[in-house]
Amino acid sequence: MKVEQLYTGCLAEAAYYIESNGEAAIIDPLRETAPYMKKLEERGTKLKYILETHFHADFVSGHIDLAKKTGATIVYGPNAVAEYDIYVAKDDEELKVGDVTIKVLHTPGHTMESSCFLLVDENGKDHGIFTGDTVFIGDVGRPDLAVKTDLSREDLARHLYDSIQNKIMPLADDVIIYPGHGKGSACGKNMSDETTDTLGNQKEKNYALQPMEKEEFVAKVIDGLTPPPQYFTKNALMNKKGYESFDKVIAQGLTALDADTFEDVANAECALILDTRLPEEFVAGFIPNSIFVGIEGSFASWVGTLIVDLNQPILFIADEGKEEEVVTRLSRVGYDNTIGFLKGGIEAWKAAGKELDKVNSVTPHDFAAKIENGEILNVVDVRRYSEYNQGHLENAENIPLDYVNDNMTNFNRNTEYYMHCAGGYRSVVMASILKARGFDKVVNIEEGFNALQEKTNLPIVSDILEPEA
C-alpha cells in the first residue's frame, strides 16, 4: 500500500494518491491532470476511483478531466447531485482498491454531501481517514459554504457536531488524519502548519474535538467567521455543473502577443490586464490601468477575492518561464478566460515606446520623518481586521484589501493616501486597483507594517482589550 499527500502551498490544498496492487485512487485532485497522469504512467497503475470529499468552494477540482482521460469513476458521498456522470456512494459503503478497502463515511456539516474516506489496509486495520473539509489539523470546516441550501450555518454546524461525534471520534487514536487543507486556507480559521496528525493527538489539541455539548460546539465553530471570498460559491457551482477542458484553457491562455497586438486585444475585448511580477518591479513601471497580483504571493486566492467575474477576459504580464504557471493557477480558481500574454514582458512594452504608469513609494524611514515633522497624512492599513486589531499606527484607517470592492466610496480622488500592509504585497495590489479606478494620489509604504515596527519609533496601538488584573 502506498499513500502520498500531494500538497499545493499556494492554495493550502492537499490531494491524495492511494495505490495497492496495481490499482489507485486519487482524492480531491487539482485542476491540472498532468501530474496525476505522469504518476500513474510511471507507476504502471490503473486509476480506479476519483474520490471527491464534497463540492469544493475554494478551488476547481480536476476530477472531470481526469475521469475522461483515465476512465476512472468519480465518487461522491450521499446527497451529491452533479450535472455529469458520478457514482453516489452509500454511507458505510466499501470500495476496493487493489488489496485495500476505502470506506465511505457520510459526514455532513461543512456541506450536506461532505464525506470522509476511511482507508483500511491489507490486514483489515484502519490506517487513516481522508477528512476533506470536515476535520483539519487544529480545526474543523466552516459551516457556511454550502450552496443552494435552506440550512443556516447554525444548522450545518449541528450536523457537523453529529458527524464528528458519530463517525470520527469513535475511530482508534492511531488513525492518521489526512485533511483537505492546511494553514492559509479560508475553509477554516484555526488550522495548523502541520498537514497530517493522529486522531488521538487531535483529540487533545483540536479545540473542536474537545468534550462539549452541541450548542457550545456551534457557538465556537461560527465565532469569528468572516464572509468567504466571493469566488467560493462560483467554484462550488463549477464543481457541481462541470467546466471547460483544462487543456483548452491552457492553449488559449498561452497565446503570445506582441505589444501592439496586446494593446489592440485589450481594447477590443475589454480585457483586464493582470501584472504578476514582483511588487517592486510593478511600482517602478506598469501598463496603465493594469492590476497587480504577484505570482509569488497567494496569487490564486487574491485573484478570486478581487476579480468578481470568472468570465472576465484576462491578459497578463509575467516573467519569462512563468506563463504556464499563471494560466494554471488562474484556472484552479475558475478563471478560464485568459486570452494571452505580453511576449517579452514589460521590456517589450517599453521597447515599443508605449506609455507606462508608476506607483509613488516612500521608505519606512522617510514616512516616519513626515509623521514626526507634524505632517497630517491619510494612512490606510489594508491588512485584515484581526491583524489591524493586534497593532496598528495611530489614526490609520483600516480598509482590508479583501473588501476593497465594497469600500470604494471611502476614497476621495482629491486626497493623497499612504497605504501599507504587513510586508508590501497587498498594499501594491490595493494601490493598483485604486490607480486603475482613477485614484492617482496613492503612495505605497515600502516593506509595510513589519518594517514600520522594526525600523521606526512610530507609536503602535492595539484595539485588543487587556484582561483586568
Residue 354 CB burial class (10 angstroms; 0-12, 13-18, ≥19): middle
For residues 406-426, give the mean pLDDT: 96
User: Which of 240, 80, 56, 214 minimizes the C-alpha distance to 145?
Assistant: 56
Alpha carbons 276 and 294: distance in angstroms, whole number: 4
Average pLDDT, rounded, for the chain? 95
For residue 467, pLDDT over 80 is answered with: no
pTM of the model: 0.93
Residue-wise pLDDT tens digits, 312-363: 999 999 999 999 999 999 999 999 999 999 999 999 999 999 999 999 999 9
Domains and CATH numbers, the chain: 2-234 (3.60.15.10), 244-351 (3.40.250.10), 360-461 (3.40.250.10)
Alpha carbons 280 and 431: distance in angstroms, whole number: 12
Residues sharing a CB contact under 8 Å with residue 230, sequence separation 6 or more, in sequence order: 304, 305, 308
Alpha carbons 254 and 328: distance in angstroms, whole number: 10
pLDDT band at 468 (very low <50, low <70, confident <90, very high): very low
Residue 37's pLDDT is 98
For residue 32, pLDDT over 80 is answered with: yes
For residues 417-434, give the mean pLDDT: 98
Residue 469's pLDDT is 40
For residues 118-144, give the mean pLDDT: 97
Neighbours of 248 (CB within 10 A): 11
For residue 117, pLDDT over 80 is answered with: yes
Residues sharing a CB contact under 8 Å with residue 278, sequence separation 6 or more, in sequence order: 294, 296
Instruction: Please say whether the beta carbons of 167 and 105 come within 8 A.
Output: yes
Residue 146's pLDDT is 82
For residues 62-91, give the mean pLDDT: 98
Longest Cα separation, the chain: 74
